[in-house]
Amino acid sequence: MSSDATPRPALWADVPEDQWNDWRWQLSHRLNSVEDFAKLIRLTEEEIGGLSAPNKFRVDVTPYFASLIDPDDPDCPVRLQVIPRARELEGFESMMVDSLAEDAHSPVPGLVHRYPDRVLMLVTTQCASYCRYCTRSRIVGDYHATFNRRDHDLQIEYIRRTPQIRDVLLSGGDPLTLPQKILEDLLQRLRAIPHVEIIRIGTRVPVFLPQRVTDDLVEMLRKYHPLWMNIHVNHPKEITPELARACAKLADAGIPLGNQSVLLAGVNDHPNTILKLCHELVKLRVRPYYLYQCDLVQGSGHFRTTIAAGLEIMETLRGHTSGYAIPTFAVDLPGGGGKVPVLPNYLIAQSHGRLVFRNFEGYISTYTEPTDYQRPKKTKWVPDLPLAQQQQRGVADLLAGKELAIRPEGWDAIHLHRGSYAPADASPDGAADASTPIWTKFH
């Protein structure tokens, strides 16, 4: 065994090096039952209950990832992510099956079009190992219901016909578990669409199955630049020589790497854990991208933290460490509102021309604004983007002075009833005025 490798548990001590390093061997020797795991770790009653439950979300763990588990520590953060506990079957308030309403936002199966200029393209339901808190457990893991050639054709056709899409995010399931030929075919077809500017892959393969990041795979991927990749590491224990090598190959091929973590109770909800994780990621040339609040998805109840826990973590990062090591803490809004960043308040007061800020140490200072600044109306360097302007622009339009307010559906009907009650002595002029909604005066 090379010295630069994760120590191998006794269970696999005799596996020849070339087999252990072969991703196909890793996939075909995944652990998924009480018997499998009992050979490796001292299972708790909770874990035996979780593993024995008949209707559980699919379990499968690569031997490599399982080798990172502490066999004697039931609180091991690697273990908690992939071995089910009986509690995972318990419901909680506001629990949902599809908490991000992805299915409702899919014009064709597996293509979620929620933001104006980018889409999420689910290309497979298979992963190298399965995270217990999976936000797509409603579809992920099912052998019989994966996305097929016909689905891919429809997804690509939708992207081709929708010119405002400039960013396509391949996810699933895990795109890097697809046969390489199929993945390359998808990348090739997306690259052939002129308005697709960037392609991104969201994958946990470098973490669960770093052996899959072969020279051959990387040579293929680099043909489709600009290609970006987000990996998913939650805890410093997942940072190994194997992951480091996989990231080095990808980064050397010019693929910018990001990381998305999920804030998980018992796994990474201490500020020091995230700080250490982010430092280790930056050393691997992986930029922390998002830290997600855990979704309201079935199976994740025992992983959920308060949002305050995330804010406290953000407070310990900003200012205390490199900006490159700080992810955006985001809540993906239930019902399909998309990702909303949440951060501690640094702006503590504002008056005309003067703002008061505090820094990470509690130092308080003021910034004086110019009083003669003019907002740019338009720029001659960049053309107007007509499609983007047709989208709902929300608070941006309030700031631009194009709208005075954003009113929930039905709001007008409830509130605009001026004149619907006319006293007997109301003047004719007043009655005429009342029929004009006040808002039309503003537009």
Listing DSSP states for 222-289 in one string gives GGG-SEEEEE---SGGG--HHHHHHHHHHHHTT--EEEEEE--TTTT-SHHHHHHHHHHHHHTTEEEE
Nearer to ligand PLP, 111 or 267 (CB): 111
DSSP class of 400? T
> What is the closest distance, in whole angstroms, from the C-beta atom of residue 114 to ligand PLP in the complex?
4
357 near ligand PLP, rule: CB under 6 A: no
Q: Quote the distance between the C-alpha of residue 136 and its chain's center.
A: 11
Q: Check if 127 is active-site.
A: yes
Q: Based on CB atoms, which residue is closest to ligand PLP, 146 or 171?
A: 171
**115: contact with ligand PLP by CB under 6 A:** yes
Binding residues among 320-339 for ligand PLP as defined by CB under 6 A: 339
Instruction: From 21-29, 48-56, 109-117, 136-144, give the range in contact with ligand PLP by CB under 6 A.
Output: 109-117
Active-site residue flag, 223: no
Q: Does 262 bind ligand PLP (CB under 6 A)?
A: no
332 belongs to the catalytic site:
yes
- Catalytic residue check, 75: no
Task: Assess 227 for contact with ligand PLP (CB under 6 A).
Answer: no
Distance CA 443, CA 430 (A): 22
Nearest approach in angstroms of CB 57 to ligand PLP is 20
User: CB-wise, 8 or 287, nearer to ligand PLP?
Assistant: 287
The string of DSSP codes covering 121-161 is EE--S--SS--TT-TTTTTTT-SSS---HHHHHHHHHHHHT
294 as an active site residue: the answer is no
Q: 328-333 and 338-341 as β-strands: parallel, antiparallel, unpaired?
A: antiparallel
Using the CB atoms, write b or e for 266-292: b if 16+ within 10 Å: ebbbebebbbbbbebbbebebbbbbbb
At closest approach, how far in Å is the CB of 327 from ligand PLP?
11
Of these, 27, 61, 80, 112, which contacts ligand PLP (CB under 6 A)?
A: 112
CA distances 107 to 112, 151, 255, Å, are 7, 12, 29
- State yes or no: is 115 an active-site residue: yes
- Which region among 108-116, 127-135, 178-186, 403-411 touches ligand PLP (by CB under 6 A)? 108-116
Per CB under 6 A, which region of 29-37, 112-120, 179-187, 207-215 contacts ligand PLP? 112-120
Cβ at position 194, least distance to ligand PLP in Å: 20
Best CA proximity match to 232, nearest among 182, 188, 267, 197? 267
Among 244, 204, 233, smallest CA distance to 292 is for 233
Number of residues that bind ligand PLP (CB under 6 A): 7
Task: Name the catalytic one among 127, 247, 278, 294.
Answer: 127
Query: Residue 121: which of 54, 66, 73, 193 has the closest Cα?
Result: 193
Nearer to ligand PLP, 114 or 279 (CB): 114
Beta strands across the sheet bearing 198-202: 111-115, 118-122, 167-171, 198-202, 227-231, 257-262, 286-292, 328-333, 338-341
**169 contributes a contact to ligand PLP by CB under 6 A:** yes
Interface residues with ligand PLP (CB under 6 A)? 112, 114-115, 118, 120, 169, 339
The residues carrying an active-site annotation are 114-115, 118, 127, 131, 134, 136, 295, 332, 339
